[in-house]
Amino acid sequence: MDLAAPPSLGSLFPSSFDEIPLPFRHTPDDTGKTLLIDGQVISWNGPVQPTRSAVCLRQADGTFSQIDLGPQALASAAEGRAAVAAASRAWKGGRGDWARASVTARIEAVRKFVRVSLPLREKVAKALMWEVGKPYADSLVEFDRTFKYIEETADALLELERRAAKNAVTGGFAARIRRSPLGVALCMGPYNYALNEVFTLVIPAVIMGNPVIIKTPRYGVLANALLAPALNESFPPGVVALLTGNGPEVVGPMMESGKIDVLAFIGSHKTASILLRQHPKPYRLRTVLGMGAKNPAVVLKDADLDTAAKEIVAGALTFNGQRCTALKHILVEEPVAAALTERLAALVARLPVAMPWVEGAVITPLPDGGHPGYLAGLVRDAVAKGSRVPNPGGGETAGTLFRPAVVSPVAKEALLFSVEQFGPVVPVTPIADPFDAVDIVDQSDFGQQAAIFGKDPKVIAPLVDHFANLVCRTNVNTQCRRGPDSFPFTGRKDSAAGTLSIDDALRVFSIRSLVATPQKEEAFLEELTGMSSFLSRPE
Ligand code: G3H
């Protein structure tokens, strides 16, 4: 099948601001200079760096330059230490007001944060669009999903409390078993879900009574900075801090202080291990980590190839393949490998590549200006080892744009076989036997999810049994994903530590603490319940 040559990639970038539709134009301002420390929203006067957009301007000489969205505060080690000191004061060894506040008061503060933030929906979504390059429609979806998650977290805590309202009476004792906070939590989310994955850490942490320090992702600073005043208005001083700047400079001293009790981090396992090593008493540190993945799609020879191809393209290329859950390796049984590859190439060739404000855009500019070159290198390496790129123009780069590439067949020796591409590249490897897929996942450093496409339960059931112990979610005839957010989200090996979901997150940011009396004194326990905020029952 011959696929038509696509239009030039570089011509998709605007050559002047006038080419950007009026409602989406960005006027640089000082939003990026916002820090929140110790109950003060600060407009930073110190060193700054430009906030670069994923979107480039096409220059007259044919080069591309990432649009400057305005200055961004480069907080230093001193601000990092100040945020830790304020959070430690708020925590006060567990005796601080927030740590001892009633569940009802904590839930009310979170609900206030939702009320104050909702009017910022379009503004935050536009900031995400500009900085991270996420299509505007998807940026709105990210905002909505985040605030739904926050509301559901408050509901889940109420439910958890209601379940814990009864005394446990056993072995001659009566006890009230509750969940209590852990201490100062450092929350660091990734740039691909710069809002969602930050707040799905921050909100469960804070609602459980922990003071929280947010270090914003590398890209996605503006969306978070816009919410700093709402955080400040909703939570007491010192309870939530927000810092921007160079990670190693700001975060290193925080970890080295030994005053971080919980590290909630979503990013690379390399950064995670640096952070863990910086803590002077690592055995004290609680962690919840979401790291890399190389989720395979296993396509069996009896699969409905049209459905599988559609699902794989969505799974591999939604938001430019920049999802930790994206399908990053397609393992297809040899007899159908050519037919699947042809379908993938045809679908990928039709994917709209456009600026993020264009309705229906799927492939958009990448925020990391160096990433297109990295991806092109992976494709070159695979081609040198026997692969071809069947979709016209696949792998072409211009500025921050990378035209998605189906790469097939990807040999074991190629980098694409094992490294996480985190971008719009769809590596396809034919396999002689479905169980070859199990071996490949077993030998991989990652273990997040897998997807199986096929019909025969006699083949799929044993695969499910093997994947169950290699990954943490096996998807049958559907792509890999995190949602629904009530499902456990975790992984093995280099992919994750700890489990996130609306309910699980409340648990990872807290520890059970109980008050026990002899059973005959249960009435006294009740009397205490009326006077203690720890023991109090939610209305
Ligand atoms: O990057 C990881 C995200 O949590 C993935 O979420 O599967 O819903 O896109 P998603």
Q: Is 482 in the pocket of ligand 1 (CB under 6 A)?
A: yes
* Contact residues for 247 (Cβ-Cβ < 8 A; gap 6+): 188, 215, 218, 271
Distance 423 CA to ligand 1 centre (A): 14
Segments of 25-172 assigned E as strands: 34-37, 40-43, 48-58, 64-73, 168-170
Element (H, E) at 462: helix 457-467
Show the 3-state SS of 216-270.
CCCCCHHHHHHCHHHHHHHCCCCCEEEECCCHHHHHHHHHHCCCCCEEEEECCHH
Burial 327-341 (b: 16+ CB within 10 A, else e): bbbbbbbeebbeebb
Average pLDDT, the chain: 97
Using the predicted structure, report yes or no on whether residue 227 has a pLDDT greater than 70.
yes
Q: Which atom from ligand 1 is nearest to the alpha carbon of 197?
A: 4
Please state the rounded mean pLDDT for residues 130-134. 98
Query: What pLDDT is attached to residue 5?
Result: 75
Type of residue numbered 71: P
CA proximity to 3, closest of 395, 308, 345, 424: 345
Per DSSP, helices labelled H in 235-370 are: 247-256, 269-278, 305-317, 334-349
Q: What is the pLDDT of residues 417-470, one digit of tens each?
A: 999 999 999 999 999 999 999 999 999 999 999 999 999 999 999 999 999 999
Q: What is the pLDDT of residues 350-388, one digit of tens each?
A: 999 999 999 999 999 999 999 999 999 999 999 999 999
Distance 178 CA to ligand 1 centre (A): 31
Please state the rounded mean pLDDT for residues 195-217. 98
Domains of the chain: 35-48+71-290 (3.40.605.10), 295-485 (3.40.309.10)
> What pTM does this model have?
0.97
The closest residue, in CA terms, to atom 2 on ligand 1 is: 324
Distance 459 CA to ligand 1 centre (A): 28
